[in-house]
């Protein structure tokens, strides 16, 4: 049984999907997704996708070394977001050869701001926001080595950033329109 799940995060999805326990033994070979220079031949998170428009397909998504995993809806109803142990992919479900690697590594948290049409990816030091057209903004460095979002609203995102020099978490607030932040801790 897979521990990964599908989460709509408040967005509509023009597809259905199923996380498979492994690579299928029969049928067309799965499409391989990997971050260069990773080898795409190892088994990762395997997903069967049935787009509303287009042919069904199976994808094998190479996993990162750490971080969260799951399958998420995105602001674009035809794009699915796959996070495989911290490594993120945004894939057009009706043309899976069109995909984007998420600019956060490893992904520790995935959240949404549906009112702004944003999907947020949190890594150790920054937050990246993606909309229908791809990357919208990425914060400047928020932390020495640890970012956690505690609240995501339409106007701002709040969280805690690890301040290694002070030995404590420091609050920060990000403007959801611009990605500019106040607070936080960075070297």
What residues contact 50, with CB distance under 8 A and at least 6 apart? 15, 16, 17, 56
Six-digit token string for 159: 């969280």
Share of the chain above pLDDT 70, in %: 95
Q: What is the pLDDT of residue 37?
A: 73
Is residue 85's pLDDT more than 60?
A: yes
Q: Express each pLDDT in 14-60 by its tens digit.
A: 999 999 999 988 887 899 999 877 665 688 999 999 999 999 999 99
Mean pLDDT of all residues belonging to the chain: 92
Q: Express each pLDDT in 141-171 by its tens digit.
A: 999 999 999 999 999 999 999 999 999 999 9
DSSP secondary structure, 11-40, as one string: ---SEEEEEESS--SSSSPPEEE--TTS-S
Q: What is the pLDDT of residue 4?
A: 60
- Specify which residues 131 forms β-bridges with: 134
Residue written as token pair 């995105």: 74
What residues contact 164, with CB distance under 8 A and at least 6 apart? 144, 145, 185, 187
């Amino acid at each position: 049984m897979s521990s990964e799940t599908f989460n709509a995060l408040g967005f509509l999805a023009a597809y259905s999907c199923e996380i498979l326990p492994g690579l299928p033994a029969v049928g067309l070979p799965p499409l391989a997704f990997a971050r260069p220079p990773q080898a795409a031949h190892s088994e990762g998170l395997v997903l069967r996708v049935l787009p509303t428009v287009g042919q069904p397909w199976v994808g094998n998504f190479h996993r990162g070394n750490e971080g969260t995993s799951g399958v998420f809806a995105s602001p674009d109803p035809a794009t699915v977001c796959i996070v495989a142990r911290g490594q993120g992919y945004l894939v057009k479900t009706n043309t899976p050869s069109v995909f984007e690697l998420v600019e956060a590594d490893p992904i520790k948290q995935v959240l949404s701001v549906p009112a702004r049409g944003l999907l947020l990816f949190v890594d150790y030091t920054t937050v990246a926001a993606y909309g229908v057209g791809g990357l919208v903004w990425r914060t400047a460095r928020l932390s020495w080595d640890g970012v956690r979002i505690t609240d995501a609203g339409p106007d701002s995102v709040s969280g805690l950033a690890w301040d290694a020099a002070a030995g404590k978490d420091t609050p920060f607030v990000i403007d959801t329109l611009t990605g500019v932040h106040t607070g936080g801790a960075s070297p």
